[in-house]
Amino acid sequence: MALPAPRCITCATRLSFAAKTLSLADIFLFILFLAFMSKILLTGAAGFIGSWLSERLLAQGHEVVGVDNFDDFYARPIKIRNLEKSRAFDGFQFVEMDLSDASALSRLPPCEAVIHLAAKAGIQPSVKDPAAYIRHNIQATQHLLAWMQAQHIRKMVFASSSSIYGNNPQIPFRESDNVDYPISPYAFTKKAGELMTHTYHYLYGMDVLNLRFLRSMAPGKDPTWPFINL
């Protein structure tokens, strides 16, 4: 008897909303995942990618429940401004919440799918404070997966990172490249996220799309990014 095809997919993705450099395959998978989902939980909604994605989803007619804790990686007023366009839609609801606090997730409304972008970003800061990255990127992701399991939510997109390729000299990276040797705490937290999503896929049948983002650019990019003025 043929086994069902695996439904935990990983894609290396160069993401730019402004220049639309998502590959056709990535866009197809996104659409496949999200087209029939009316209410989507979007974590990291006040962040750079999250705020762009929220507007797109709302414009397409989805309901979006945005979650963010206004992490201090960059200034809160920037994130408040990021949310402005989404707040103009009736279908938008925002919950300020720290996903690393497991008890807080009971405040979340039921949803049909989860797009998990929330994370502490930044490679250098993760070297100085790995514990914070373990808390906000690994523990928070596990809390979210446990909440999804309890709520019987079976669709997820997870924001991984090209940083998990470490010192791999082979450019361009391939999904099949070895990612066992991350070289920063940030990278190992992203690898841990991929491992967790795969485990939940195996145990509970969750369909997961892991996207390994690489250097996204668009208006609203966070000001800590070194090439922001190019």
Ligand X SMILES: NC(=O)c1ccc[n+]([C@@H]2O[C@H](COP(=O)([O-])OP(=O)(O)OC[C@H]3O[C@@H](n4cnc5c(N)ncnc54)[C@H](O)[C@@H]3O)[C@@H](O)[C@H]2O)c1
For residue 185, the one-letter residue type is P
- Position 79 contacts ligand X (CB under 6 A): yes
- Quick check: bond before 223 cis, omega within 30? no
- Position 71 contacts ligand X (CB under 6 A): yes
Backbone angles phi, psi at 29, to 5 degrees: -65, -40
Let me know if 74 is a catalytic residue: no
Residues binding ligand X: number (CB under 6 A): 30
C-beta closer to ligand X: residue 36 or 75:
75
Residue 191 CB-density burial (10 A; 0-12 exposed, 13-18 middle, 19+ buried): buried
- Position 70 contacts ligand X (CB under 6 A): yes
Residue of 186, 200, 202, 204 marked catalytic = 186
Q: Which of 42, 46, 148, 192 binds ligand X (CB under 6 A)?
A: 46
Which of the ranges 42-50, 54-62, 174-182, 198-206 carries the binding residues for ligand X, by CB under 6 A?
Answer: 42-50
Binding mask 154-173 for ligand X (x = CB under 6 A): -----x-x------------
Q: Alpha helix (H) ranges present in the chain? A: 24-34, 48-59, 76-82, 84-87, 124-128, 130-133, 140-151, 185-204
- Position 40 contacts ligand X (CB under 6 A): no
Residue 206: which of 106, 114, 108 has the closest Cα? 114
- Position 200 contacts ligand X (CB under 6 A): no
Q: Which of 12, 34, 42, 99 binds ligand X (CB under 6 A)?
A: 99
